[in-house]
Structure 1
Amino acid sequence: MIIRQLQDCENSERCVKAETWQSVRMLLADDKMGFSFHITTIYAGTETPIHYKNHLESVYCMSGNGSIKDLATGEVHQIKPGTLYVLDQHDKHILMGGTEDMHLACVFNPPVTGREVHDADGAYPASD
């Protein structure tokens, strides 16, 4: 059984920060669960281009607001508490923070190792 507290993870190497987001990786590849679980904050008023070529992701909005733009179709979808979006086709997108920080629960498959940040294409590297 694995038990972790968000606050403990926030104050460890499991907390990865970038200019437009913070990701607290509570469950990682070396936990051997087959997925990773993150609590991610998207900062208000920011834009983050993302293209997870090597991962699938499911995202649930717990609080805050923003939107996601599907770069294949141009469609923009609002994100608010209770919204789930799933990047099941390695969807290239822009994640936009709204008027307040968005707090998201995220699941990645395959799991990340913990220190990944987006590369120039907005992707995380392929898992070993």
Structure 2
Amino acid sequence: MIVRTLTDVIGTEHDVDTPTWSSRRLLLKKDGVGFSLHDTVIKAGTETEIWYKNHIEAVYCIEGRGEIEVVGEGTVYPIEPGTLYVLDGHEKHLLRGATQMRMICVFNPPCTGTEVHDEEGTYPIID
């Protein structure tokens, strides 16, 4: 059994902060459960271009408001508490935080815990 708290992660190498988001990685590849679980804060007034070409990501909003725009389609979906979206087609997207948003994110394959987006907005596969 794995028991971990957000407090256990905050301030460690698995608490990754960037100009547009902060991600506290609670479950990682090394935990061996087949996915990673992240408690992520999207900063108010920001826009982040993301393309998870190596991962499937499911995101559940528990706090705040914003939107996600599918790049190339122009389709925009509002995000508010209770909204789930899944990037099951590896969609390149723009994530915008109108207010600070708190998101619970699941990645498959699992992340190692220190990833940040590269120049394409992608997390690399790390063995």
1:8-59 CA-partner distances (Å, limit 9, x unpaired) = 2112211001110000000000000000000000000000000001000000
- RMSD, aligned α-carbons: 0.7
- Who is 1:120 aligned against? 119
Q: Counterpart of 2:108 in structure 1: which amino acid? A: N
Q: How does 1:93-112 map to 2 (within 5 A)?
A: 93-98=93-98, 100-112=99-111
Q: Counterpart of 1:31 in structure 2: which amino acid? A: D
Q: How does 1:69-80 map to 2 (within 5 A)?
A: 69-80=69-80
Q: Counterpart of 2:103 in structure 1: which amino acid? A: L
- TM value normalised by structure 2: 0.98
1:87-118 CA-partner distances (Å, limit 9, x unpaired) = 000000000011x2000000000000011000
Instruction: Please tell me whether the aligned partners of residues 14 and 24 of structure 1 are also in contact (alpha carbons under 8 angstroms).
Output: yes
Instruction: Please tell me whether the aligned partners of residues 36 and 112 of structure 1 are also in contact (alpha carbons under 8 angstroms).
Output: yes
Q: Secondary structure at the match of 1:57?
A: strand
**Mean Cα deviation higher: 114-123 or 4-13:** 4-13
Query: What's the offset of the Cα at 1:127?
Result: 3.6
Unaligned runs of 5+ residues in structure 1 are: none
Query: What's the offset of the Cα at 1:72?
Result: 2.8
- Among the aligned pairs, what percent are the same residue? 55
**Count of residues in Structure 1 that have an aligned counterpart in Structure 2:** 127
- TM value normalised by structure 1: 0.97
Q: Secondary structure at the match of 1:7?
A: helix
- Who is 1:88 aligned against? 88
- Who is 1:21 aligned against? 21
Unaligned runs of 5+ residues in structure 2 are: none
